[in-house]
Amino acid sequence: MCTGMEIALLAASVGGTVASTQHQSKMLGAQADQANADADAAAGAARVKANKIRAKGKKQAAAARAALAASGVNVDLGTSVLINDDINRQSEKDALLGIDNANDAASRLRNQATLLNMEGSAVQTAGIVNATTSVMSAGVQSNWRKNNPGGAGDKPIGV
């Protein structure tokens, strides 16, 4: 039969295991939340940078158009239109490349968050299993079933 001290030690062990796994799970959840926030920030920063690249491209196109017009070239025909189109195309390509790179980084961060949440769930499950194992092991070691008045003893269940 378990003594009061053995029961207290078992309760402390089980309580410590559960508290530790809950803490670990919360920490992993917080890390997952941070990874998701970092993903959102990366995507937002990429949109801002892309808009700056587009604005810079428009300024470059306008400057090129003004320079061509100042030299007497018709800016609505031929080479001047091709130059402006190329400047706009390159700036849009750079903007989209930045967004695509940020989306890749955000996707990796979101995957990391998913893995952290899964790890947190696994930690909780392991903690419950460990706590249950501790209780069951203590019960077996103390011959609780045999010594517990009203317990099952050696009789099979349902007999």
- Distance from C-alpha of 125 to C-alpha of 137, rounded to nearest angstrom: 18
The secondary structure of residue 156, as a DSSP letter, is P
153 domain residue, yes or no: no
Mean pLDDT to the nearest integer, 40-65 = 94
| Residue 51 lies in domain | 4-139
Dump pLDDT digits (tens) for 110-123.
999 999 999 998 98
Higher pLDDT, 57 or 131: 57
Residue 156 lies in a domain: no
Contact 56/91 with Cβ under 8 angstroms?
Answer: yes
Q: Average pLDDT of the chain?
A: 85
Other CB atoms within 10 A of residue 17 CB: 19
Q: What is the pLDDT of residue 3?
A: 67
CA distances to 24, 43, 47, 80 from 114, in Å: 16, 18, 24, 51
Number of domains making up the chain? 1
Residue 87 lies in a domain: yes
Q: Which one has a higher pLDDT value, 34 or 16?
A: 34
Evaluate whether residue 101 is within a structural domain: yes
State how far the Cα of 26 lies from the Cα of 7, in Å rounded to an integer. Answer: 28
Q: Does 146 fall in a domain?
A: no
Which residue would you say has higher pLDDT here, 49 or 19?
49
